[in-house]
Structure 1
Amino acid sequence: MNNKPNKALNQTLTKMVPAVLTALIATGLGFIALYTSPVPMIQDFGKMLTVGMIISFIVGVFILIPILFTRDHFFKRERIKKKQLKFKNKKGDRLFNWFTNKLISLKWLIIFAAFLSAGLGIWADLQAGVETDVEKFMPQDTQELKDIHKLREILGSTDSISVVYEADDVSSAEILEWVDGISRTVESEFPETVIDSRSVTTALRQMNDGELPETQELEEYLTEMPTDQKKLLINEEETRGVITLNIEHLEAEELKGFIDDLIHYLKAEELNGVETTVTGKAVLDVEMVTALTTGRYKMTLLGMGLVFFGLLFVYRDPVKAFIPLLPIALIVGWSGGAMYLLEIKYTPLTATLGALIIGIGTEFTILIMERFYEERDKGRNSKDAIMISNRKIGKAILASAFTTIGGFSALLISDFVILSNFGLMTLINISLALFSTMVVMPAILIILDRFVKIRHVREKELPVN
């Protein structure tokens, strides 16, 4: 009976599965940062990533490994095929050895160039814009979008902001005069933005030949106003009313500036006993801008912090817990630089890239590091250990990266800009994660190896296979 499948199964369960489980835990901790986002769709995205990751691990351990063991245990491969495969593997091993030797000789240059370019990328990322305009996410040649533009040309506006005001009695003469003043002056205060306004007093003016009814007539006019029209302007209890402002279609940053100015204007014109609130879809868009601009940095830093403390708990070594995060920090910087150079704005999808970088990159770096210290514990020096690690684990990482790239490539052909941009940046980030793991990680491991305690080192160095 051939014992090689049994030996391979034992090594996989004792060596590879714990390493993959550690990477899984670190990746999951990185995805937890998505739950802190104020944007619900980002929270849901984080949940689905976590669920998918757990399912993949379970399938790999309880389905894939038994299938591979069954194939090798019960079905013998032909010797010719084995010789051909062995010959191909030797050629590939020589290539990996040559590549790793070059990396080792240039390790300080690689580290300097990597951190310098990542720093420039982080600076460039701070200049990147944010896109929350749903119209920009859609295919620009769709008939529905053309209809919206045509309607906007006819009506002058399809966007609006609501100013909700509350008081004990919003139908009192004093408050109605205040509402009338706001409704009439807001257009002149913001002539380039506000197209027109509508409130209960504009309806009263329409009922009275363009004039606001006298104080003693206000209650009578309010009673005569059609119920369906009145309830759109004030509630039945007459404790709350709304002023609707039809505005020009603005970009996110311009819209934020206008809302801030509008809030200051209302505060300057406030009336005792009346509370105002600026609300509506436009305000939600501004809140999303804030969430995407400030939230994405917080999510990335929080994710890296959680991964660090998780690895610190697993390894009990701060240096060993810190090493996998260095390539991740580089990818974050490079990704920001790529977005800046490609003039891609952040959207609710691309704002999650930081967490995705942590998830994908951490898995790669931990697998390489685990194999490196496995070889170091056997007694090999750092150079030999990294050459074996790159040769053995590098092939698996290359295969994983290429299959992931193939899956996300489908997003590139989407007509929706938000999806195609997300797909493009995901492909770039996976490529950067692969580059950082295969090129920069070996240099980091060799340089920081002196600070990591090796559990057991044999007196006699083992040969490099």
Structure 2
Amino acid sequence: MGLLRTAFAEVGRLIQAHPVLTLLCALVLIGAATGGASQIESVTGDRAFVGENPTLDAFSERFDRGTVATLVRGDVTDPATMRAIARYDRRMSDVENVERVVSPADRVQEEYGRIPASQAKIEQVIGASDSELVTIVLEPDLTQQQSRPVYTKAVDAKQWVAFPSGVSVTITGSAAFSSQLSQLIQQSTQQLLGLAVGLMIIALFFLFRGVKLRLLPIVAVFTGVIWTFGAIGYAGIPNSTLTSAVFPILIGLGIDYSVQFHERFEEELERHPPREALPLALGGVGPPVFIAMCAAALGFGATWISTVGTPAFVWFAQTSIFGVLLTFLAGLLVLFPLLTLWVRVRGWEPASQHTETPADSQASPDSGQMQNESTEIGMLGRTLGRTSRTLAAHPFLVLGIAALLMSGGFYASSDLTTLADTEEFIPQDLPAYVDLQQFRSASGGGESVQFDVLVRGSELRNPETLRWMERFRTTAEGKPSITGVETPATLIKSYNGGSLPQTERGVERTLARIPEAQKTRYYQDGYAHIRVIGAQNMNTEQQLSFFENVETLLTLTNSPSGVDAELTGQAAVSTPSTVTQIEDRNVTTALGFIFVFGALLLYYRNLLRAVAPLIPMLFVVGWQNLYMLVFSIPVSPLGASLGALSVGIGAEYTVIVMERYFEETGQQGVSRLDAIETAGARVGKAITVSGLTTVFGFSALTLSPFPILADFGSLTVGVIFLTLVAALATLPPTLIVLGRLSDTVWALWHRRSQPSAERVSKSDD
């Protein structure tokens, strides 16, 4: 501990001696961060929730062709409309990364060699339909960044073609959805960032009225946020729906760090010249704030480790870790140099030089100090101090009530609803999502959705393998939620008179008659593709049951030796992954406790001081379930990580209270209850105001257009409040109980060791 204080004091001396140079270093880092921020890309939808998966990679490379779907509604059989569709088809066929375009104009031109002027002739080919679909099939294995320009070109082509009036044209599909969602994520990140900064300004202005330059921490925190953007750009961490939640959190935490620095510096200036005040301030407040920052980073680290394999949550944790480190660093490199320069410009005169008179020095001992402290503490501080003393005087009653509520929270966790469907994470009024729903309904996709099975082996065209595929199809069709199955055997039967060839040569002859475009949908580079059609409107539980049924059927139908089949695809991988994250939330929380406990034990090298700050956090983990139940907040994959985060974030408040408590008990003649009251009065007010300021930053998330972020914001606001309550209400009685336990253990050890000590003494005599 002493070494850490010395190190921070030395950093304070360097900053105080070279404030301009320190600020120049901060500006250089801002310039470097700008280059990194320009490299940030956005990843949306299921791809953000799917990690490394060899089967999925093999499927995506060969069969996963994204589409841009264009739904044309109106008088589609009118020759003018059909000619517009044909022009649209030709224009999009020449776009980069487009494999082919499938449209009704193809069938009409195949029949007549051109688009006829007769509407009746067109209806003979496509029927009297009032809507038709143009499907732009993309090349396989494209990234979202590669597919998004196709959507942009489709929108341009729609305007260029000039469809007849009265004809409605809707462009949707994965590329359209990804493009609009990416734009919304960027807009949301900027809006949440601006909103959080605005709320912080309001909080600092009203809650820190006695602090000079009280808005200065915003400058430091905003600098840290810019550095964070640069860091994630250089590290290759994409921006996603969840990553945009990080920045309001960072503003809340970063303000906390900077305010602690700011207040301690002003406190030291009251008694020391600037040359001494800065090293003293940083040597005093630096270590506990550093430990608090490390605890928060370890909480995010627990989320990282427990969600490996789900990129969106890993990116969230990585961005958060970068953020807490860099906002802490910004407090050192931006806040302190600016305060130092401000003190030099304004001049300095400590209050202690002109407030004491000879009469004051002859007054009753400590009377002036007590009066000053009482004024500084104020009504809130005195109330908190007395409340802490009252609660600590009845430790078993208080802890018993807290434990009872915690147990009720753990019991209520099974009644909480969940939010695991990735489509429910996004705004339901997003135009691309609305278009997608309309497209599904109008095209028949509203009742069904495709899932994929990848088949590998050396005998994929063997009649025995085809018979197994046919057996799988007939067994699967009619099972719950399965509405159809398409396999290579289905394709071959359609070109062989409705039956499967009996020999491998017969299979090859049939395949030779099939157009290449159709064949590549089912066979590619030693792999085969089976499409399983499922009900569109399945909820998460039904989807998981559907996946389990398909996997069971693959096993029961007994594929030939050397042939392996596995369910895959973005949805088949991402949905179980998000559900697992929710189910493993207790593991994530436990990791958070273990990491923070290890850090505290390493810092204090005292078991009591490492355990005490975590007991109130254990209460909070249970209480937050009751909070979620009362306010109907569902458990999302992001919210599932909050247990670990609350441990890391809340440890700061409990450590600060505990530090002051042990500082007071170290003085002669101070009882434990007196120490509790002083700690509650002196630092209780500080952490209350700090906590409320943090809540302001977090509350920006509640206004996010993304439901998963809005729910997470509501949850974090409640949890931070509960953390403050736990730190002020349950830590004092916890310290009393642990202190008594320590006394008992020490007395027992002393009794046991005393006889042996007496024997040694007699032996020496």
Q: TM-score, normalised by structure 1?
A: 0.87
Q: How much has 1:265 moved relative to structure 2?
A: 1.7
Q: Which of the residues 683, 696, 715 maps onto 1:393?
A: 683
Give the letter aligned to residue 682 of structure 2.
K
Q: Which residue does 1:148 correspond to in 2?
A: 436
| Structure-2 change in CA distance of 1:87 and 1:341 (3 Å) | closer
What is aligned with 1:241?
Answer: 528
C-alpha separation in 1, matches of 2:376 and 2:564: 77
Amino acid at match of 1:417: P
SS in structure 2 at match of 1:270: coil
Identity of aligned residues (%): 28
1:5 to 259, 265, 272: 272
What residue number does 1:27 align with? Answer: 296
**Structure 1 residues 385, 84: CA separation in 2 closer, same or farther (over 3 Å shift)?**
closer
State the Cα deviation string for residues 374-424 of structure 1 (Å, max 9, x = none). Answer: 111223221121212112212221122111111121221222211110110
> Which of 541, 544, 548 is the equivalent residue of 1:253?
541
- Asked whether the equivalents of residues 157 and 246 of structure 1 are also in contact (C-alpha less than 8 Å), the reply is no
Q: Tell me by how many angstroms 1:247 deviates.
A: 0.7
Higher relative contact order, structure no. (Cα contacts within 8 Å, ≥ 6 residues apart):
1
Q: Go from structure 1 to structure 2 and tell me whether the alpha carbon gap of 1:84 and 1:68 turns closer, same or farther (over 3 Å shift).
A: farther
- Alignment counterpart, residue 51 of structure 1, candidates 319, 322, 326: 322
Q: What are the within-5 Å matches in structure 2 for residues 306-385 of structure 1?
A: 306-379=595-668, 380-385=670-675
- Which residue of 2 is the match for residue 409 of structure 1? 699
Residue number in structure 1 paired with 2:740: 450
Contact conserved, 1:23 with 1:367, CA < 8 A, in 2? no
Q: Corresponding residue for 1:162?
A: 452
Cα distance change of structure 1 residues 72 and 440 upon mapping to structure 2, 3 Å threshold: farther
Residue among 698, 703, 718 paired with 1:428: 718
1:302 CA displacement? 1.2
The answer (yes or no) to whether the contact 2:472–2:553 under 8 Å persists in 1 is no
Deviations 1:210-269 (A, max 9, x none): 444554633211111111211110114xx3211101111322222112212221221111
Cα distance change, pair 176–258 in 1 and its aligned pair in 2 (3 A): same
30-39 or 155-164: bigger deviation:
155-164
Deviation at 1:442, TM superposition (A): 1.3
Task: Rate the CA distance shift 1:101–1:440 in 2: closer, same or farther, 3 A.
Answer: same
Q: Give the 3-state SS of the residue equivalent to 1:247 in structure 2.
A: strand
Deviation, structure 1 residue 67? 4.6
Whether contact under 8 Å (2:384, 2:685) holds in the other structure is no
Contact 1:130–1:346 (CA under 8 A) maintained in structure 2: yes
Q: Which runs of 5+ in 2 are unaligned?
A: 1-268, 356-370, 744-765
Aligned counterparts of 1:77 and 1:405: Cα–Cα separation in 2: 34
The one-character-per-residue Cα deviations of 1:63-108 (angstroms, maximum 9, x if unpaired) are 434555665672559999xx99974744344323333233234433
Q: Structure 1: how far apart are the matches of 2:453 and 2:494?
A: 21
Aligned partner of 1:176 in structure 2 is 466
| Pair 1:103-2:391 in alignment | yes
1:183–1:243 CA contact under 8 A, matched in 2: no
Deviations 1:94-128 (A, max 9, x none): 32333323323443322111111111112222443
Distance in 1 (CA, whole Å) between partners of 2:688 and 2:300 is 23
Q: Secondary structure at the match of 1:5?
A: coil
**Could you say what secondary structure the match of 2:683 adopts?**
helix
- Contact kept in structure 1, 2:470 and 2:489, CA below 8 Å: yes
Which residue of 514, 524, 527 corresponds with 1:225? Answer: 514
**Equivalent residue, structure 2, for 1:441:** 731
> Does 112-121 or 29-38 show the bigger shift?
29-38
Contact 1:292 1:346 in 2 (8 A): no
Distance 1:306-1:15 versus aligned 2 partners, 3 A rule: same
Query: What SS does the corresponding residue of 1:111 show, helix, strand or coil?
Result: helix
Structure 1 residues 158, 370: CA separation in 2 closer, same or farther (over 3 Å shift)? Answer: farther
Unaligned 5+ residue runs, structure 1? Answer: 454-465
* CA distance 1:98–1:268, shift in 2 (3 Å): same
The structural deviation recorded for 1:360 is 1.2
Show CA shifts across 1:399-452 (max 9, x none).
221111111212212222111101100101111111111111111112212345
1:193 aligns with 2:481: yes
SS at match of 1:162: strand
CA 448–421 in structure 1, closer or farther in 2 if over 3 Å, else same: same
Deviates more, 1:7-16 or 1:311-320: 7-16
Deviation larger for 339-348 or 247-256: 339-348
Cα distance in 2, alignment partners of residues 266 and 93 from structure 1: 67
Deviating more after overlay: 167-176 vs 5-14? 5-14
The reply to whether residue 305 of structure 1 matches residue 594 of structure 2 is: yes
| 1:193 CA drift (Å) | 0.7
Q: Who wins on radius of gyration, i.e. which is larger?
A: 2
Of the structure 1 ranges 289-298 and 176-185, higher mean CA displacement relative to structure 2 is found in 289-298
CA shift at 1:176, angstroms?
1.2
2:131 maps to which residue? none
Q: Distance in 2 between matches of 1:384 and 1:86?
A: 15
Contact 1:5 1:69 in 2 (8 A): no
Q: Deviations over 1:161-196 (max 9, x none)?
A: 2122222121111111221222233112x1x41122
Change (3 A) 1:375 1:84: closer
Alpha-carbon distance between aligned partners in 2 of 1:388 and 1:8, rounded to the nearest angstrom: 24
Distance 1:89 1:25 in 2: 29
Distance 1:59 1:393, change over 3 A: farther
1:16 aligns with 2:273: no
**Could you tell me how far apart the structure 1 residues matched to 2:320 and 2:742 are?**
32
- The change in CA–CA distance for 1:92 and 1:293 in structure 2 (over 3 A counts) is closer
8 Å Cα contact 1:128-1:339 kept in structure 2: yes
- Give the conservation status (yes or no) of the 8 Å contact 1:299–1:354: yes
Aligned to 1:262: 550
SS in 2 for 1:4: coil
Equivalent pair of 2:377/2:681 in contact (CA under 8 Å): no
Question: Partner residue of 1:113?
Answer: 401
Do the aligned residues in 1 keep the contact of 2:592 with 2:648 (CA within 8 Å)? no
Q: 1:451 to 1:325 in 2, by over 3 A?
A: same
Structure 1 position 41, deviation (Å)? 1.8
Q: Distance in 1 between matches of 2:521 and 2:715?
A: 45
In structure 2, C-alpha distance between the alignment counterparts of 1:108 and 1:71, rounded to whole Å: 50
**Helix, strand or coil at the partner of 1:155:** coil
Tell me how far apart the structure 2 counterparts of residues 409 and 26 of structure 1 sit (CA, whole Å). Answer: 22
Give the letter aligned to residue 678 of structure 2.
I
Q: Is the 8 A contact 1:164 1:241 kept in 2?
A: yes
- What code does the residue aligned with 2:524 have? N
Task: Give the letter aligned to residue 307 of structure 1.
Answer: V
Verify the 8 A CA contact 1:349 1:422 in the aligned structure 2: yes
Letter in 2 for 1:297: N
Larger CA deviation: 209-218 vs 93-102: 209-218
Residue 231 and residue 88 in structure 1: after superposition, are their counterparts in 2 closer, same or farther (change >3 A)? same
Report how far residue 280 of structure 1 moved: 1.4
2:591–2:644 Cα contact (<8 Å) kept: no
Change (3 A) 1:53 1:385: same
CA RMSD of aligned residues (A): 2.8
How far apart, CA to CA, are the structure 2 residues paired with 1:210 and 1:157?
Answer: 27
